[in-house]
A and B are shown apart, each in its own frame.
Chain A
């Protein structure tokens, strides 16, 4: 029983980080009707901004994190939207999807070439100890990750639902033409969506990198899992991405602990196929229809 509790907690903690990246997928989909296949690299890159701040600019950790966040917002939010998304959006989603794949490769190779091909140590941001509660070892890191992700996701939900800017962002995502007629600055709202995605990816990076280590290739697996989580949960619902991330985190851990460690990576893919076959809109997603 103790082991099950520990496995569940660990799965939820990891899954909550996957959820942050998965929410980014859904936000970009809603804003630009495209899939950002560089999302995994969006989670990989901020860690290296922090390492540059620490190792080359001599910053303390807190300042390097702010530096990393600022650079991520500028590059992964504003520049990504203005330089890549805006020119290609009018050419259809497929062009943009392919372009994001190219961006993913570019980011990986830039880090590999100009920083290092090897994994890099990364400072822990949260306490590393553990509590022993009647034989159940509760990792402080897992609890911290869960709390931080919970706060962020609740904050995001409140922002989107309760603030004027958030509601305008939702309006722009649901129907840009009508939103524009109603006076919403749609272009600015889409920009804000990309900025929010950059912030979420950066936060995911800060939390996951101390565990996975900073490496140019760490975005590949994260991106795949986050993509699967977004589809499984519901690509057009933020709460769907949250559910998908948590589900995959828990399933992965339970599979590896009680069933098989060798085929654990197949479980998310099997789940993806099952959901697409039987509930293609995702567990919490809403069916969408389009006029053709």
Chain B
């Protein structure tokens, strides 16, 4: 008799306090060439999740997160997005690499699952996918911000381009070459390299003999570090200018003082003279014991955007989530964890103020703030 009462009581207690959770899937480059970006992105998301859960979750439900390592392989990333969808993910966070995102995003689109990506290739938001949303500029928004720098600050008449031959690199390269043409600046050397390339001796040698006034460097983080080290080794004195990756914290860590003097336009930087970003940087360092970079910030604001938008809707409705995001602006004064006021257009393209940075003594230093593109 006693056992029956105890069993019934336990059952009633269990039914009275159900455990709810919202599933978030992180699908990111946690190993392979993309690990510097993917792990930072993941860490930013995890920090956000910790804060969101500590403040009660989303609509009262705690976030349950699963991590999936794409190994920086597009086909693996596609399979993992499918798995995340089958496992019931409400939103997919990632991927960061454009080469993976262009492959896997259609899985999420066909399933109607919103996907918050860190990828920057222009074509990601040009394929009519209503469920993909960026956390950073596409290259077609970011790279044109450099045109004035080349033309007016560096007064360059001839430039060279060193770029990675994949979706990310091609996107930035094509936009840059087009911009230089419009600005009347000759591209005198166009040097592609493969993702994961280790030896840049030949590339730097070609750049040195090209006679360019400046070099646009558009490589991934590890390759950027190897490039900078080789450039220093060969005494390449030409100004090196990049978009986002060239001056990332991971690049500075890997390249050491070879990174000094590199300049880039970045959508986000932990060194921005913005209190919210600096506070985030301190939180991140305290938790993980290393500094964040733009990928960490992307992951963080992406996750907080999920919370803000879901609570605006008042329901875990994936289609409504996507509809709300289109044309949305999250004002940082009302949504402080966005760190900067951020807007999305109907293609999922993002607009936000950005920065020109230079690496000085191993640190990113913000030299100019660039207003958000219209």
Contacts and interface: CB of A to CB of B under 8 A. Distances in A.
B293 to A, nearest CB: 12
Nearest to B208: A3
A118 B194 contact: no
Nearest to B225: A213
A261 B35 contact: no
A262 B194 contact: yes
Given A14-B199, A112-B31, A212-B198, A3 B205 contact: yes
Chain A interface size, under 10 / 10 to 19 / 20 to 34 / 35 or more:
35 or more
Contacts of A211: 198-199, 226, 229-230
B199 A130 contact: no
B177 interface: no
B194 A139 contact: no
A252 interface: yes
A240 B255 CA distance: 35
A7 B205 contact: yes
Given A130-B235, A217-B32, A256 B202 contact: yes
B202 A117 contact: no
A23 to B, nearest CB: 20
Interface residues of B, number: 34
B39 A137 contact: no
Contact of A14 (B201, B209, B225): B201
B31 A117 contact: yes
Interface string A191-219: 00000000000000000001111011110
A117 B199 contact: no
B256 interface: yes
A246 to B, nearest CB: 15
Interface string B18-62: 000000000000111001100100000000000000000000000
Given A6-B234, A112-B31, A130-B234, A121 B201 contact: no
Nearest to B233: A139
A130 B222 CA distance: 23
Most buried by A among B203, B222, B230, B234: B234
A212 B226 contact: yes
Interface string B266-291: 00000000000000000000000000
A288 interface: no
A118 B36 contact: yes
B254 A10 contact: no
B253 interface: yes
Contacts of A216: 31
Contacts of B192: 261-262
Contact of B202 (A112, A121, A257, A265): A257
Contact of A117 (B32, B208, B254): B32
Contact of B198 (A130, A142, A221): A221
A134 interface: no
CB-CB nearest 10 A-B residue pairs = A256-B202, A117-B31, A10-B201, A257-B202, A118-B35, A212-B198, A117-B35, A130-B235, A119-B222, A3-B209
Given A7-B201, A137-B208, A142-B233, 14 more contacts: A10-B201, A10-B205, A14-B201, A118-B36, A119-B225, A121-B254, A132-B235, A210-B229, A211-B230, A213-B254, A252-B202, A253-B199, A253-B205, A264-B202
20 contacts: A3-B208, A6-B205, A6-B234, A14-B201, A119-B254, A121-B256, A128-B233, A130-B235, A132-B235, A142-B233, A213-B222, A213-B225, A213-B254, A215-B222, A221-B198, A252-B202, A261-B192, A262-B165, A262-B194, A264-B202
